[in-house]
Structure 1
Amino acid sequence: MSQSVPSQSRAASADAAAGSRDKVALAMFVVLLLSYVVNAMDRQLFSVLATDVRRALDLSLPQVGLASTIFTLGMGLAGIPTGYLLQRMSRLGVSILGLIIFSVATLLTAYASGLADLLVYRFVSGLGEAMQLTAILAIGTTYFVNHRAMAASSLNFTFGIGAVVGPNIGAAILNATHWQMPFIVFGLAGIPVLLLILLFVRPWFSEARADEDLSAAGREEDAAESLWAPRPVLLATATVFAGLSIYGYLGLYPTYLREAVGFSPREAALAVSCYGFGALFSLIGGWSGDRFDYRKLLVASLLVAAVSGGLLFTELSRSLPLHMLLSFIFGVTISGMVYANLSAGIIKSVVRRKAAQASGLFVAALYIPAAFAGYILGSLKNVVGWTPAGAGQLAGCAVIAALLCLMTGRLRSTPGA
């Protein structure tokens, strides 16, 4: 009996120390998420300013649509290589390097003189954003292994904050100055965030290894050994079509509001920011994905996104309040639920030591095709008009993604698949 008391005391002390360590780790993760807010602000800025950039640089609608989404090509191309880079370089170092790259590229966008250099700056910003996103996603899903969907969704939650704040601040700066100034301000915003990361984030958190026994409960029975097993491939393909829907909206929806509906920059920014409010539901989406069948959640969410996204480009949505409501619903479903559970789902579908590569696969699948979402929508608009083009791309791609997610539920994967 006398020996059990010290044993219980040591166990209680160990639990207390682990709890304290996890709280510190969570605080450091919040600092990294703050840097992702800056990422989201940079990413959402261009679409609100697209009409002004188009006029200043004398671009066509397909050209400015391409410029709106070309950064995702950089993100996609960098996704899988970054996943492998994380095996050779510290995750924190990759995250910091990504922050520096996309901040500098955002700043240089203000000095673009034509389509060619504009596309270069936008593409390079995507490279940096992918490095940061992949690194933070790997950090969160590796350390918080019991809550991988929550860790993944927290990135999209902070994206939602940036998506709310970025367009409105950008529109306010535009109204007070000129189209270059928002890019300058947002580019310089990376400096204080970089200092916070250097001061507060420690390697024991950011570099926690996949083979450490942080928790035995974080492993899935049907996790595959290869990224190219049927389930991760099907989920990645669903991500491709979800990305075409998401970035069709993000790339040219504000332009549609300004040029077809007749909204002012501030009104268009307000409507788009409601999508960001919807993305704030990512934490609920991640929580749901950790506790329920994420595949069923994906199918239901994608179908609701198809309906709300399609209605955004119809004659039914000519009022600002209705645009705000539909954008919010689209944001809740496609960003709050779909993004969170596709990213976590791909990571869950493989063994834990493949988490970094799975993060890269998700980034590549989402962002490489999305690079052309704005160009596709702009080209379709020139052929069939705004409503068939916008409703067809947003709704059609979401429905295809839903069917692919439905197929994954019929698979019986094995760990060695």
Structure 2
Amino acid sequence: MSQTKPADTARGPAGAEGGSAPGPSRFLLVTGFAVLLLSYLANAMDRQVFFPLLPDIRAHYGFSLTEGGSLATSFTLGMAIAGLPAGYLLDRFSRKTVLVVSIAIYSLGTLLTPLSSGFTDMAAYRVLSGFGEGMQTAALFAVIGTYFFHRRGLAFGGTAVVFGTGLILGPLVGVHLATVFNSWKAPFLLFGTSGLAIAVLAVFLVGRRLTERAGDPRVTTATFDHMPASPYNRNSIALAVSSAVSGLVVYGFLGLYPTFLISHLHYTTAQAALAASCVGYGGMLALVAGWLGDRVNQRSLLIVTYLAVSATSLLVYQTQVTVGWQCLFAATMGFFAVGSLYTNHNSAMQRAVRPHQVGRASGLFISSYYISSAFSGLLFAALVNRFGWSQAGMWQVTLLPLVAVVALVFVQPARLLTAVRSAGAR
């Protein structure tokens, strides 16, 4: 096991100090990144396919709304459990190994889901899938955050575009396959098999010089004594609290949005899938949100984003509109909730720590975001059963973001390693 080096100089993960090894060829670099992004696309499709098929799954097993809501977001519990251990492993061992193993784990969980006999084992398979997705996401963010050190906001925005594409394709492809094969099980079998194939591709096409080294030579020469020595400092903890609120809000919305459209607004399954897929169109604008995060006060940007989420949720849950309007509202929510909140929490948390600690920052982000997400569907379903859809949306998606705004007040922007500040350390 590699020993942790002094924290005042930046470095890559174990075995990659100083960036002294020659970089990979452009072809291998592009190919490796393409496979990594393909794996993230599969990750996103895996997560999203369950939601529009939930009414059919509930009918097949006789699950209650509360049980269905819990299953819809239970995979996030696995992601939360994976976050901190993955962060520890990523700062000490091969990121490529973590990536490949994690893709295989979440694909196996997806394959097992349609083989469930009831609620308990389906929940276990969903958690297993989430565990692999959490490991893979933390590893991917650590690789990209290190390689694109000074423009990580823009880089994370690019990965969020890929994620948004998965949000678009997941419901549409999943419902289409379920219709063609007349079975809700078909999409899970196809997506799980595809994930295993991607894991094999990663073994041969993703080079360790891509995953283990820092892409920017300034990372290896600059000093960061002005940054907190611990990865768990005032900024990272405040951002983690805000991120946890984001998980409750975003997955409370995503997990039961198609069910809301079908049961409350009486949309068809196809219409609900179309509206849910529009979240992904908004998420694809994450490139803009990430670009802004590299250039403006990220604390202020996150606060404005939360206020926009609250305003959009009023339109979603408090109005009776046509499918076209709901598609617009879903796309707007996708931009603010998926595109901006996710991207800027992720990059800000890495900027709250020294460069050699990005693995643990990624793990903290994944854990904080998804531990609350794991219970978001259960909470939303309980609120719906008690107060109805409109009031549930008001409490969890409209008012809850204000708690995150309070947490963000404690963030000290001057102690975030922004692109402007770090660029000065040439």
Aligned-pair CA distance for 1:409: 4.4
Matched residue of 1:408: which SS? coil
Amino acid at match of 1:108: L
Matched residue of 1:291: which SS? coil
After TM superposition, the structure 1 = structure 2 runs for residues 381-392 of structure 1, keeping only pairs within 5 Å, are: 381-392=384-395
Alignment partner of 2:98 out of 94, 109, 134: 94
Aligned-pair CA distance for 1:37: 0.3
Partner of 1:370: 373
Distance, in Å, in 2 between the alignment partners of 1:20 and 1:357 is 26
Q: Structure 1 pair 19/389, CA: closer, same or farther in 2 (3 Å)?
A: same
Distance, in Å, in 1 between the alignment partners of 2:79 and 2:277 is 22
Q: Structure 1 pair 186/331, CA: closer, same or farther in 2 (3 Å)?
A: same
Q: Deviations over 1:353-372 (max 9, x none)?
A: 11000000000000011100
Alignment partner of 2:357 out of 354, 357, 370: 354
Partner of 1:334: 337
After TM superposition, the structure 1 = structure 2 runs for residues 10-409 of structure 1, keeping only pairs within 5 Å, are: 21=25, 24-176=28-180, 177-208=182-213, 213-215=217-219, 223-314=227-318, 316-409=319-412
Percent of aligned positions that are identical: 34
Distance, in Å, in 2 between the alignment partners of 1:217 and 1:339 is 30
Uncovered stretches (5+) of structure 2, i.e. residues with no partner: 1-21, 418-426
- Aligned residues between the structures: 396
Q: Structure 1 pair 36/410, CA: closer, same or farther in 2 (3 Å)?
A: closer
Q: Structure 1 pair 26/285, CA: closer, same or farther in 2 (3 Å)?
A: farther
Aligned-pair CA distance for 1:146: 1.5
CA contact (8 A) 1:100 1:190 kept: yes
Aligned-pair CA distance for 1:305: 1.0
Q: Cα RMSD between the aligned structures?
A: 2.2
Aligned-pair CA distance for 1:107: 1.0
CA contact (8 A) 1:222 1:413 kept: no
Q: Structure 1 pair 386/218, CA: closer, same or farther in 2 (3 Å)?
A: farther
Q: Structure 1 pair 220/257, CA: closer, same or farther in 2 (3 Å)?
A: farther
Distance, in Å, in 2 between the alignment partners of 1:217 and 1:90 is 22
Aligned-pair CA distance for 1:413: 7.8
Aligned-pair CA distance for 1:220: 6.9
Aligned-pair CA distance for 1:192: 3.2
Amino acid at match of 1:246: V
Amino acid at match of 1:117: D
Distance, in Å, in 1 between the alignment partners of 2:37 and 2:145 is 13
Aligned-pair CA distance for 1:169: 0.5
Aligned-pair CA distance for 1:35: 0.6
CA contact (8 A) 1:232 1:350 kept: yes
Matched residue of 2:400: which SS? helix
Uncovered stretches (5+) of structure 1, i.e. residues with no partner: 1-17
Aligned-pair CA distance for 1:271: 0.4
| TM-score for both structures, normalised by structure 1 | 0.90
Aligned-pair CA distance for 1:299: 1.0
Aligned-pair CA distance for 1:410: 7.0
Q: Structure 1 pair 65/219, CA: closer, same or farther in 2 (3 Å)?
A: farther
Aligned-pair CA distance for 1:20: 8.3
Q: Structure 1 pair 351/382, CA: closer, same or farther in 2 (3 Å)?
A: same
Distance, in Å, in 2 between the alignment partners of 1:226 and 1:134 is 19
Distance, in Å, in 2 between the alignment partners of 1:253 and 1:283 is 24
Q: Which runs of 4+ in 1 moved over 4 A?
A: 18-24, 216-222, 409-414
Matched residue of 1:407: which SS? coil
Distance, in Å, in 2 between the alignment partners of 1:291 and 1:217 is 23
Question: 149-158 or 246-255, which moves further after superposition?
Answer: 149-158
CA contact (8 A) 1:241 1:400 kept: yes
Distance, in Å, in 2 between the alignment partners of 1:63 and 1:146 is 44
Aligned-pair CA distance for 1:199: 2.6
Aligned-pair CA distance for 1:283: 1.3
Distance, in Å, in 2 between the alignment partners of 1:217 and 1:329 is 41
